[in-house]
Amino acid sequence: MLERNKTRQKTAGSVRTRRTGMPFLYFIAAGILSCAQITGVGSPFGVAFAAAACRTGYGFGAVLGTFAGYLLSHPGAEGVQYAGAALIVLAASTVFSGTGITTGRWFYPVGAAVSVAATSCIFVFADGWEWQKAVLFVCQLILAGGAAYFYEAAIDTVRGRPQKIRFGGIMVLCATVLMAAYPLQVIDLICPARIAALLIVMGTGYMGGFSYGAACGVGIGIAMDAAGGMGLYYAGIYAITGMIAGFFTRSGRVAYATAFVVTHAAVNLLGGQEVYLSGMYECFVASVCFVLVSDRMWRAIQDKLLPPNPEPTDYAARVSRLANRYASTAADAFSEMYQALAGGGSHHKEDNDLGAVFDRTADRVCRRCSAREACWERDKLATLRTLDTISGPLLRNGHVCTSDFPGHFAAQCLRFSDFVLALNEGMDALSQRRQAQRKNEDGRKLIAQQYAGVTGILKQVGESMRTGPEALPTKERELRTYAEAFGRVRTAAAWKDRRGRLHFELSGECVPRIVRNKEGFLSGLSALMGVKLTGPESIHGPGGSSLLFREQEPYTITVGIGTRTREGQQVSGDCIRYFTTEEGIACVVLSDGMGSGEQAREESESTVRMAERFLRAGISAADCVRTIGPALKLRTQGKKFVTLDIGTIDLFNGTAESVKCGAAPSFVRAVDGDGTVRVRRIRSSTLPAGLEESGEMDVTQFHMGDGDALLLLSDGIVDADGENAGWVEELMAGSIHLSARELAARIVLEGSARGAPDDMSAAVVYLTKRGA
């Protein structure tokens, strides 16, 4: 409690310091900008800053600063007219406050231009109309409105602005401050304003590359030229220097600074000797200051000021499309393999037909017999009738005896005992081939079914990659702007997943403060985004810690579990798990292993664990069962089995699905508007996994609303066919007042009272609308 009070006192102290210090800072900034002027055009920058300050709520301090700055730096009527213009802006802001007009983005820039026009037109055209004066007057108005727009983008961090506009505003603010400081000289040779200008160009080129370096060089150079009356001298030098040095950004600070100094020296030769010497001194001092700033500090400034580079997003999109293509191609390949295997293998009739056994026996025994022509040519029909007579006993018993043959055939056949022996050996070989073929056929079907499951999974993965997350740049800017109040933001991301759920992720120095004030931050972010959010959820990755916020599901679930172990056993063979996926799907998985005890528990736990991993990965319950089933049969060799019962509920729209593999019936309870209670039974007609070709399943889709309930049972409570489940329906219909946990316990107790000698498990899921 003491620590919490200290933290609150410290936070309150910092807020009071900020509230008392900010008006003073606006006063100083407005006074400095009032001193900036362009020869022949005027000095509207103080008025522009006062207009931007009115947007942030510090207009009074800024207007006082303009009065001090204009009256000290512009004695006479010129200073009075600009101070009056600033006062008009403040008055307009006060009059129209609360009307909604001031929320417009162009209100204050237009107000600055109009106020300058109102107070300056009399003095400008006092001696008559001249088109040169009119052009300069219009330029002054454009400067007033444009500077106000960019000043507002630089200092107003509450309203979301595009990062490029904010960066431009900061550049304009810095340039005009340097213009105000331009008259300051050191020993009539070095200008501190130009040193700062060179440092800004160097830093911008180092952080953003040659394009940012050239653009910043042009802007800052024009400001220096306008303040010094140098034409476009510095604009050309700074632009070329920033552009060329920008190609060395990956070489390190020292190499970059060296390239900048050398390029500046070469380009600066265009000026006279006096300008060249002053430029060299200034560039050297700026380069030393640049090198003294660490790379970490420059990267922090880059993350704070420069617009994010869109290349990673484009690269990620290309990788996503490539992965989608590979996943779709692999899915097509597995689908083709599944169809080929499901179509059946080649049946070798000559190897597996009974006639082939007779042919081999005759070829083996009768080929060298002296009576071969009499048996197989003259009396061929009689021989074939004899073989047809013994086909029945041969197929029925798997072998024949001498008594199965007609007496005349045994008397005529010179090698009768050899013929019987060879026929039985051929039949044994046929039986072994058929048994091996059946095993191969079973394995082929299992593999085909698993290929079908893998095909479904790959198709889902490919579809999710094809649609991919939908980036939300506008909300991302709003998120960054809001989070910057808690500290520096390194990365801010906003997107919708394939189901349309909103996600927000933040990283940077703001994370610890957000965690300490998570409730306030979460409520504010929810109000800003217009949706309720969950979180924050901490994520630890290679780039450090980040916070993840997700859109809150409209529905929530309450789960009650009831269990009873079979008498004489220490461990139940049933296993139940429930969880909610990242996409807002509530899942309940129940598996019943064969028998009771440790071994049955191990089988059911393994089955539930595999199902959970697939479901958490976003795989549908049907494809999950279709993939797990064959693996279970191969592992158990058909000697064991487990049931699998999966219930899923979409917490955004109430869409539900039941997937059963040999499981006991499930029950869904709904209450109509008139209070009528309806209980629906969901049956399973398939055998458990491990007995038949797994992949066979019962899939039932339905809808659940506020107050509805879903019940999953093991077959220890009711039979798999559900013939004795009437009492469950009656109990559910009459137990609306019970909680999920109480209802599950009642069902297990009632099942025990009915004398069921097996493990018992019941999972009751109540669906409730949030805020209902």
- Over residues 552-565, the pLDDT tens digits come to 999 999 999 998 88
**CA angle, residues 539, 494, 158, in degrees to nearest 5:** 105
pLDDT band (50, 70, 90) for residue 264: confident
pLDDT digits (tens, 9 = 90+) for 387-430: 777 877 777 777 788 787 887 777 778 787 878 888 888 888 87
- Asked whether the whole model's pTM tops 0.85, one would answer no
Distance CA 472, CA 664 (A): 45
Phi, psi at residue 558, to the nearest 5°? Answer: -125, 125
346 — pLDDT class (breaks 50, 70, 90)? very low
3-state SS, residue 581: coil
The C-alpha angle 470, 472, 477, rounded to 5 degrees, equals: 155
The region, left, alpha or beta by phi > 0 then psi within -120 to 50, assigned to residue 209 is left
Nearest to 208 by CA among 103, 303, 278, 338: 303
Residue whose structure tokens are 């109509």: 672
In angstroms, how far apart are the furthest CA atoms of the chain? 149
Mean model confidence pLDDT for the chain? 78
pLDDT at res. 345:
47
Give the tens place of pLDDT for each residue, 723-742: 777 889 889 988 888 999 99
Given this model, what pLDDT does residue 342 score? 52
| Residue 489, H or E segment | strand 489-496
Strand segments (E) across 552-697: 555-564, 574-580, 585-593, 642-650, 655-661, 666-671, 677-682
Report yes or no: 99 and 64 within 8 Å, Cβ to Cβ: no
Number of H helices, E strands in the chain: 27, 15
Looking at the predicted structure, is the pLDDT value of residue 295 above 90? no
Structure token pair of residue 613: 């991993």
Calpha distance 383→371 (Å, rounded): 12
> Whole-angstrom Cα distance, residue 470 to residue 456?
23
Query: 16-25, 525-534, 559-568, 735-744: which has the minimum mean pLDDT?
Result: 16-25
- The residue written with tokens 């730096």 in the block is 73
Confidence at 116, pLDDT banded by 50, 70, 90:
confident
Q: Burial-class residue 534 by CB neighbours within 10 Å (0-12, 13-18, 19+).
A: middle
Mean pLDDT of 459-480: 73
**Single-letter code of the amino acid located at 127:** D
* pLDDT score, position 651: 93
